[in-house]
Chains A and B, each alone.
Chain A
């Protein structure tokens, strides 16, 4: 089974039912389809219904609410947090068909996949404790060196020099070792932890002893048993969820207030600095550059020219409503007609204009029928095509 970051695609799906969070799936009835390409990939259907989940490997993905397609490495990477999901989506490595909002919601429905813990015991760790494990009472009169030739990844060579009831550890192998243990790193760890029997290992040729066998037989007495460091269980701790909100009322003041009043009348008002002539829309009381009151209001636009266009493909949920704006959508900077300076106005572009609109195109506001003095009195700007 192909693994990416030590995890297979199967690992992700096989643990999904166990990772399901009922509280994160309240009111969700949906079929999430996954089409994972590449080595270790496949097709899965995840059905979330009535506070429960069913995960099945399948060949038929029909009837889904949302389908996520990705290559196996990207899929695993995003699921274990090694790859940024938003970036993968933006760069086209993840494709989503159907109800996008469900993808964001699925992050709440499942706890994140976590890697099974790796052994914390290393060869270096074992040798770090060797001197401390030396038992002088069992080494009286000994004047020997014991060599360790631990081969393979994370291996190394060490010599324990035992003399006068003391033990010193050196790196490298001394020529005069009474005995040298030759063993692969992984097998050595298993031997030390008691997972591999020394006789079995010797019989299979996985442990070789070069030199004085009698010394080798004494080693378990000369050094106390290695105690592996206690692995702390990663406990799932309680996370407290709250939505903090305090109702606010914002004064608009005599400058911005007039701008909002203007919107009701389908007028866009800018303010102008009496010193430098700079115009601001939406208007603010002060010209930051001249540090003076800038209360003169001038009607501008409503048409203008796009100076900057930004298309959003991945929308964040509104923190208060939880709703996610339909994507893609575009925000545009517009230099409104009559603005003598460079200050642009910022609004949305009509979705139908998304495909072929560019910097320099002319736009006009589309007014809402119910205008109350808010930024939404303008629904969006649309291209002037005549």
Chain B
């Protein structure tokens, strides 16, 4: 049996739309400093951190091999460091694998993105598409999401009001999260009357441009006590890729998320997602995704995401207590920030937004056009 892996601490910069005061290196460094302060971890080559897993995006950082530019800030000087692609939740999984395999005892995870550094994040995500067809046709992650939102609405019949309620919930929860970016309360009327960005996605359906960094310290079950007395265990994980080309995909099928979810549940020994989680953190970059990913995670029945939003579950405060991605995390950190909130909740440190007696949480991460990459992590205290 592989060693169990504990999250010992998380640190996040606040998320804001333009962190102009700081280079992204400083954003990273501040989270690492916080981890050191919380845990007393050091860089002793025998007993401390000797491996750092990072997540960043080359285009947003405007340099190739973007991790090379942050090695000093993340403490990787004269240490091992590796960057993961896709969402930062993959960095947690990689660090987890390093520990489960016995290769490392303590691993630091650091993710950062500064969306504000670019003229337009859509220009950056346009570069994620192939240069022969899709890029020239103007696809970017927002347009890709709109196609998926349309396909999902046609399939499930989700209503404008239900979509708006997803945003209302995000803001209501974010108002209690001092780290969140978009914290102003909104009403259903404001959302349904907000300008159309890319039909059917309205301005308030989209996550705000955001900057920020997240760090996390992971340790093996026989080492965690040196760093925390409130370990959060990583008990389930999986990820799955869908096709790159939209034409090959059924955009409303949730195919890759269902696969990832089923495998993560199996690893954690959970038979049914419904009712299994005290805290659910969904990577909802756009309002429709709260409902659609909830279906993919198995939290509600197929095509019932809209009804699930109106079922009263949002009012329990258990769904995206952080405010979710809709309250503003940058691309690459959607899943990593979801997992960070899950840890905070399971440690009982979520203050005003604390879900009482939280025992088990699920965090979902996604990257790529219209959720091409899907990852699911299950955490327990």
What number of A-B contacts does a CB cutoff of 8 Å give? 65
Cα distance A254–B20 in the bound complex, in angstroms = 10
Most chain-B CB neighbours within 10 Å: which of A240, A248, A256, A291? A291
Asked whether, in the complex, the Cβ of B20 is within 8 Å of the Cβ of A248, the reply is no
Q: Is the interface of A mostly helix, strand, loop or mixed?
A: loop
Contact yes or no, B117 A256, CB < 8 A: no
Number of interface residues of A (CB under 8 A): 22
Does any Cβ of B come within 8 Å of A120's Cβ?
no
Closest chain-B Cβ to A268's Cβ sits at a distance in Å of 19
A244–B23 CB distance below 8 A = no
Q: Check A251–B20 contact: CB distance below 8 A.
A: yes
* Residue of B21, B72, B117, B132 touching A286 (CB-CB under 8 A): B72
CB < 8 Å neighbour of A246 from B43, B72, B124 = B124
Residue B84 at the chain A interface, CB threshold 8 Å: no
**Contact between B72 and A284 (Cβ–Cβ < 8 Å)?**
yes
How does the 8 Å CB contact mask read for B75-86 relative to A, with 1 for contact and 0 for none?
A: 101100000000
If the complex has contacts A251-B23, A286-B25, A291-B77, are A240 and B72 also in contact, measured as CB distance less than 8 A? Answer: no
Chain B residues within an 8 Å CB radius of A287: 72
Q: How far is the CB of A1 from chain B (nearest CB, A)?
A: 42
User: Interface size of B by Cβ–Cβ distance < 8 Å?
Assistant: 30
Tell me if B73 is interfacial: C-beta within 8 Å of chain A. Answer: yes
Q: With an 8 A cutoff between CB atoms, is B190 at the interface?
A: no
Cβ of A247 < 8 Å from any Cβ of B? yes
In the complex, whether A10 has a CB less than 8 A from a CB of chain B is no
A243 shortest CB reach to chain B, Å: 11
**Contacting residues, chain A, for B15 (C-beta < 8 A):** none
**A254 B21 Cβ-Cβ under 8 A:** yes
Question: Would B118 and A246 count as touching, CB distance under 8 A?
Answer: yes
Q: Is B120 an interface residue (CB 8 A)?
A: yes
Write the B106-123 contact mask toward A (1 if CB under 8 angstroms, else 0). 000000001011111001
- A288 and B72 form a contact (CB under 8 A): yes
Instruction: Answer yes or no: B151 CB below 8 A from chain A CBs.
Output: no
List 21 A–B pairs whose Cβ atoms lie within 8 Å, in order of A's numbering: A246-B62, A246-B120, A246-B123, A246-B124, A248-B62, A248-B117, A249-B116, A249-B117, A249-B119, A250-B23, A251-B19, A251-B22, A254-B21, A254-B22, A254-B26, A256-B23, A284-B72, A285-B29, A286-B73, A288-B71, A288-B72
Other 11 A-B pairs with CB < 8 A, given A246-B59, A289-B77: A242-B131, A246-B120, A250-B62, A251-B20, A251-B23, A252-B23, A253-B22, A253-B25, A256-B23, A285-B25, A288-B72
Task: Give the top 3 A-B pairs by smallest Cβ distance, nearest first.
Answer: A288-B72, A247-B119, A288-B77
